[in-house]
Amino acid sequence: MMDWTDRHCRYFHRLLAPSAWLYTEMVTTGAILHGDRERLLGFHEKEHPVALQLGGSEPGELAECARIGEQWGYDEINLNVGCPSDRVQKGRFGACLMREPELVRDCIGAMLNAVEIPVTVKTRLGVDELDNYEYFRGFIDTVAESGCDQFIVHARKAWLSGLSPKENREVPELRPEWVLQLREERPELELVINGGVRSLETVNQYLESLDGVMLGRAAYQDPWILAQCEHAIFGTPLPTRESVVEALGEYLKELVDSGQPVKRLTRHVLGLFQGQPGAKVWRRYLSQNAHLDGANVKILDEALAQMAGAYSALHIRRSDELTA
């Protein structure tokens, strides 16, 4: 979710799912050690619990970045060994690390020794020709020697050549049965499944056997699934989309008062009304107006008003048609 789940996206998702764990986009060790930490690591206190996802392959650097993440207040540190993009391959991290289980074990061990908060791993089933259950289980077993017992598994392998990152999310076959088999063989591990989850029904099915379900792009494109999961799993009252917009308006005022443009938030909320009457109007209004110089904190209310007007006009037209 690089360039997607920034602090503004996470604040929005927290409104929908108060009990969920939220994860940052992957941040490289080099960026943290040498870059603008406020921009890279800053987050709103209401985001908790929130995990910092790291990309790297040098145990000492990862340990230092884990310490920094703990100091900044994160609740978990997660090492990504599943991302297949060209950028991460060139840096020798992400999915290419699945070829080096001993190195991943040493990285996680160094991180665990550096912090008091949980350290977890996000991985795939395999990589390129390393594509069988025995290799997957062996990779997990080797990494678990570090003391790590929490794994988030994207239930596909990664192709590091020939497929784009987008294709790597869709083309390799989903094999959730491998994760379920690992649950049977390694009951001491905490296993969370990721990949291809697009409905509350699927979430509930996986939760019968596994410890958790991670939602990625499905939650970004249709965020309301987060509210549905929260309501079904934790019993939290289901909000209205309009009440979420009202809460977002308060947050947007904070952003504008701090000198940030409204598009920092609005780009993440385009899917809030997905599947609802007026959803296209909501998306279009925000997309066309958020980048304008005059855009301000009223833009969310204006988008709602545009939706209401379009819906009323639609009903008037339908009424006229029925009368005719």
What would the pLDDT profile of 280-293 be if each residue is shown by its tens digit? 999 999 999 999 98
Tell me the longest C-alpha to C-alpha distance in the chain: 76
Q: Which domain holds residue 315?
A: 241-323
Whether residue 9 has pLDDT greater than 90: yes
- Of 186, 218, 234, which marks where a domain is finished? 234
* pTM listed for this prediction: 0.90
What would the pLDDT profile of 20-45 be if each residue is shown by its tens digit? 999 999 999 999 999 999 999 999 99
Which of 94 and 202 is assigned the larger pLDDT? 202
Average pLDDT in the 91-96 region?
A: 75
Catalytic residue among 9, 83, 148, 229: 83
Give CA angle at 67 (192, 255), nearest 5°: 80
Residue 1 placed within a domain: no
For the range 212-219, what are the long-range contacts, defined as Cβ-Cβ under 8 Å and sequence gap of 24 or more?
212/21, 212/152, 214/23, 214/152, 216/1, 217/1, 217/169, 219/13
Q: Kindly report the backbone phi and psi dihedral angles of residue 7, in degrees, each rounded to the nearest multiple of 5, phi listed first.
A: -65, -30
Whether residue 61 has pLDDT greater than 50: yes
Average pLDDT in the 71-91 region?
A: 82
Residue 2 placed within a domain: no
Shared domain for 170 and 260, answered yes or no, is no
Shared domain for 55 and 13, answered yes or no, is yes
pLDDT value at residue 83: 79
CATH for 272: 1.20.120.1460
pLDDT tier at 294, thresholds 50, 70, 90 = confident
**Contact predicate 81/107, CB 8 Å:** no
Active-site annotation holds for 229: no
- Of 234, 261, 277, which marks where a domain is finished? 234
Shared domain for 180 and 254, answered yes or no, is no
pLDDT value at residue 160: 79
**Contact predicate 148/108, CB 8 Å:** yes
Count structural domains, the chain.
Answer: 2
d(CA 142, CA 101): 6
pLDDT tier at 170, thresholds 50, 70, 90 = low
The tokens 């145990």 sit on which residue? 59
List for the chain the helix, strand, coil content (%; round to 5).
50, 10, 35
| Mean pLDDT rounded to a whole number for the chain | 91
- Of 211, 234, 257, which marks where a domain is finished? 234
Whether residue 323 has pLDDT greater than 70: no
Which of 239 and 90 is assigned the larger pLDDT? 239
Residue 65 placed within a domain: yes
